[in-house]
Amino acid sequence: MKRMTIMLTVGVGAILILTQGSAWANLISNGSFEAPVYTSSPWYGTDIDDWGPAWQTSAGAAHINTGSVSSVPDGDQWAWIMGSECNGGPGFISTAIDVSGLPTLDDVDIPVSFWLGASNNDGGSRSMRVQLMGHVGDAWPELDYEIVDGPTTIDTWGSHIVTLNTGTGYAGTELYLSFKWQSGDTLTTVMTLDDVVVIPEPMTMTLLACTGASLLLRRQRSNRR
């Protein structure tokens, strides 16, 4: 009877995870760039602490809170990713992905949702390189990437979802997500970034639930001995 209760509890938990996971399961911090709050705009920086929780940036990126766009997808602040000849570009920012709850990093899909915008610089085409990076010893391998085109109209935003994969045989214990200015009509093209969310795939969450069930059953058997 206890075994049936455990399995039913885990089953319900798995359903809740699959249906409600997007509400709590963001695996990165400060995805909307709301911390810390800046009172001047723009603010450039290369120090991970100065730039707020989680994010590392190059000189070609800026933390913005007012003035450049009329609307923001989430909150009041966002990131500005600059072209290769604009304030030390090309802009590049990265953040660690919290992998502590994932049972494996081998051949795992990492869905990423985010908003890209066109700032107050020149119009025309522009694209962003979204990268999934690993870390093994002194090496930082690029595990997967996707090139995403941003909007061509200034002061607009577009929502995007990409799924990046760690690849078969990845033996590292860390994952990082990065955004890098890829190309544009001119080298001074600027893109805006906001509301970055990383959520594990449903199969991974199901595996977590099954792992929990296995541990509960094993503990129950151990207590009987």
pLDDT at residue 204 in the model: 47
List CB contacts of 173: < 8 A, sequence separation 6 or more: 99, 105, 135
Q: Are 159 and 137 in contact (CB under 8 A)?
A: no
| pLDDT lower than 70: segments of the chain | 1-25, 40-53, 58-60, 65-70, 84-89, 120-124, 184-188, 201-225
List CB contacts of 120: < 8 A, sequence separation 6 or more: 68, 69, 154, 155, 190
The string of pLDDT tens digits covering residues 81-125 is 877 655 555 778 889 999 998 889 999 999 999 999 887 555 567
- Contacts for 210-214: CB closer than 8 Å, 24+ residues apart: 210/10, 210/14, 211/103, 212/10, 212/13, 213/6, 213/7, 213/10
Closest CA to 35 of 92, 79, 69: 79
Place of tokens 């990131």: 79
| 211 CA to centre of own chain | 25
pLDDT at residue 106 in the model: 95
